[in-house]
Amino acid sequence: MKKIHILLIIIMTFMIVIVGCSDDSTNSDGNITEEKESVVLNLEGGDWGYPSPYTHYSRGPGAYKMRLIFDSLLERGEEGLIPWLAEDWNITNDGKTYTFNIRENVKWQDGQDMTAEDVKFSFEYYAKHPPVFDELNISKNNFIEKINVIDRHTISIDVDNPSATLLERFGSARILPKHIWNNVDDPKKFNSPKAVIGCGPYILTDYKKEQGAYRFKAFKDYWGPKQRADVIQFVPVSDNILAFEKGDIDITRVTPDILNKYKEDNKYKIIKNPGFWGYRLMFNMDNNPQFKDKVLRQAIAYAIDKGEMIEKVARGAGKPASAGYIPIDHRWYNKKVRKYDFNLDKSKKLLDGKKYSFTLLTGNRNQEVRIGELMKLSLEKVGIDLKVKSVDMKSRDAAVKNGDYEMVLIGHGGWGNDADMLREKYVSEENSIKTTFTGGIPGYGNDMINNLAKKQLSELDLDKRKEIVYNLQEVIAEEIPQIPLYNTTGYDVYRPSKYDGWRHVFDHHTVTHNKISYLEME
């Protein structure tokens, strides 16, 4: 019995040693190695809808959560578009046939294989059922003539006319699993767990609409770059700075007035963001034909003090927007466009003693209300009475989409997108289609803008297209059919000891939105 008792003590001691080393693993040489500690990122939450291509809310934070789950043929990198589900591609000289070679061994998150058939199905399904972010929609008629599945991992797409934007459009569309969506007749009502099965790097494991909380976990069979973050959580936050200070979230946006606090502490790192988010003032010329008068629009532009808005609302974290819409930080910005610096005398001269009264619709966030108030005060000085009406963001966005406004203040991202955004926002309604709440100017049309916008779209030579886009910006700035106000910049602060993978992509302003921020990119 004594020997048995001693043997049990030895066994228990050995078990304790093993448990104590449970965080380690043994390599092929028999040496003990430390296992990587799980990285759980906590980010500022908020409800942006269920993250399928059909049920997220129609603003960036909803789309970028969805894109953690759903991959596309190409992805946005730091310098431009990069291969993703498509390893490579070819475009014929006439710009009418695109061939994509699809990666092998890509798995859906339910274990089935992803093939070229899924790509074909996705593009055809989107033609019948446009998603919230409809990258493939370029006109009232579907430009895809035929999709050919050449083999299990090769697909070709024939189009009716060449277009400078098609590679990015084809590359950006999210790929759906055919075996799940094939029998879904109403995708906007499809909100089961199957609706968020993609082949992307993260799986949705929890969503609480009321709290605006999401939890994404790394997909262990992901085909692509290894996930740097094992779990990404979006958590409820009432005060983002306080939450960051307490460690409840791992990165936050700060304004220049409090930046020095973090600059002087080496446990923080700071990221400066480009101005690809901005505010603009839109006119509804259907509801009020007075806005069809270019002189009135120019007078309003001169009477708005953008510098004051940047100082008092953005706390210095902004840049005056270009009257040609494409922002200063954009690779195709034309610095020669007409400028409307704050000048009350010029405004009064253009108005020539005429008095006006308008209603401005804004969201109810403090920044938008403040912008509306500043605009009201400056316009009063030139004889324009402005009544400011504030509603919640979703109601304001719905009003814009439905045309239920006279003047409206709208703020959104996407200002770093391809220059074809000028066509989407300025071409008269009969020549374009509204795809989001940010598209179109009700009641406005200009033949020169329409012609230039159409010309740049079909020009495949990069230098020639850029020249057309520069010209288009100059015409838009002279016409000023809407008034871009300012683009926000600002800074993000984070603790590199917790996570140091944040990356900007070439056309976006927020590092937390970018898929490559969470992956081990070369």
pLDDT digits (tens, 9 = 90+) for 393-430: 889 999 998 999 999 999 999 999 999 999 999 997 54
Token pair of 142 as six digits? 């579907």
Residue 9 pLDDT level (bands cut at 50, 70, 90): very low
| pLDDT tens-digit series, residues 252-286 | 999 898 999 999 899 999 999 999 999 999 999 99
With the C-alpha atoms ordered 176, 177, 183, 189, is the resulting torsion angle positive or negative?
A: negative
How many angstroms separate the CA atoms of 407 and 285, rounded?
9
Give which of 275, 255, 319, 271 is closest to 414, Cα–Cα.
275
Q: Is residue 318 scored above 50 in pLDDT?
A: yes
Of the candidates 42, 412, 406, 340, the residue with the CA atom closest to the CA atom of residue 215: 42
Give the pLDDT of residue 438. 55
Question: Is it the case that residue 72 has pLDDT exceeding 70?
Answer: yes
- For 196-221, the pLDDT digits (tens) are 999 999 999 999 999 999 999 999 99
Contact 324, 372 (CB under 8 A): no
Residue partners of 311: CB distance under 8 A and separation at least 6: none
C-alpha span between 238 and 44 (Å, rounded): 9
What does the pLDDT read at residue 439? 65
Q: Average the pLDDT over 348-354 and give the result.
A: 97
User: What's residue 257's pLDDT?
Assistant: 87
Summarised one tens digit per residue, pLDDT across range 165-183 is 999 999 999 999 999 999 9
pLDDT at 452 over 90: yes
Residues 6+ apart with CB under 8 A from 360: 281, 372, 375, 376, 386, 387, 388, 389, 406, 407, 408, 409
Looking only at the bridges linking them, the beta strands covering 40-44 and 231-235 are: parallel
Residue 155 has pLDDT above 70, yes or no: yes
pLDDT of the residue at 184: 98
What are the C-alpha distances in Å from 353 to residues 303, 348, 377, 381?
Answer: 14, 7, 18, 12
Q: pLDDT for 471-487, tens place per residue?
A: 999 999 999 999 999 99
Q: How far apart are CA 232 and CA 240, in angstroms?
A: 17
Give the ranges where 322-383 is alpha helix by DSSP (H): 344-351, 366-380
Assess contact for 470 and 332: CB atoms under 8 A: yes
What pLDDT shows up at residue 113?
A: 98
Among candidates 180, 122, 114, which has minimal Cα distance to 152?
Answer: 114
The average pLDDT across 300-326 equals 97
Closest CA to 417 of 86, 60, 105, 131: 60
The more confident residue out of 357 and 260 is 357
- Contact at 8 Å (CB) between 77 and 516? yes
Per-residue CA distances from 71 to 170, 217, 223 (Å): 12, 15, 11
Q: What is the pLDDT of residue 139?
A: 58
User: Hey, what are 470's tokens?
Assistant: 């520069």
The mean pLDDT value for 190-194 works out to: 97
Tokens of 488: 């926000």
Using 50, 70 and 90 to split pLDDT, how confident is the model at 60?
confident
Q: Quick one: residue 169, left, alpha or beta (phi over 0 = left, psi -120 to 50 = alpha)?
A: alpha
Q: Is the pLDDT reported for residue 37 higher than 80?
A: no
Looking at the predicted structure, is the pLDDT value of residue 440 above 90?
no
Paired strand residues for 390: 362
Give the pLDDT of residue 18: 33
Which residues, 6+ apart, have CB-to-CB distance to 12 below 8 Å? none
Residue 21, pLDDT above cutoff 60: no
- pLDDT at position 24 over 80: no
Average pLDDT of the chain to the nearest whole number: 90
453-470 tens-digit pLDDT:
999 999 999 999 999 999
Task: Tell me, rounded to whole angstroms, the distance of Cα 3 from its chain centroid.
Answer: 70
Residue 409 is inside which H or E element, if any? strand 407-412
Q: Which amino acid is at 67?
A: R
The residue with greater pLDDT, 10 or 355, is 355
**CB of 174 closer than 8 Å to CB of 70:** yes
pLDDT at 117 over 90: yes
Terminal CA-to-CA distance of the chain, rounded, Å? 62
Type of residue at 416: G
- In this predicted structure, the answer to whether residue 6 has a pLDDT above a threshold of 70 is no
**What is the percent of the chain with per-residue pLDDT over 70, rounded to a whole number?**
90
> Distance between CA 377 and CA 374 in Å, rounded?
5
Q: Residue type for 109, please?
A: Q
Question: What tokens appear for 280 in the block?
Answer: 């603009």
pLDDT at 143 (0 to 100): 87
Query: Is a pLDDT exceeding 60 seen at residue 39?
Result: yes
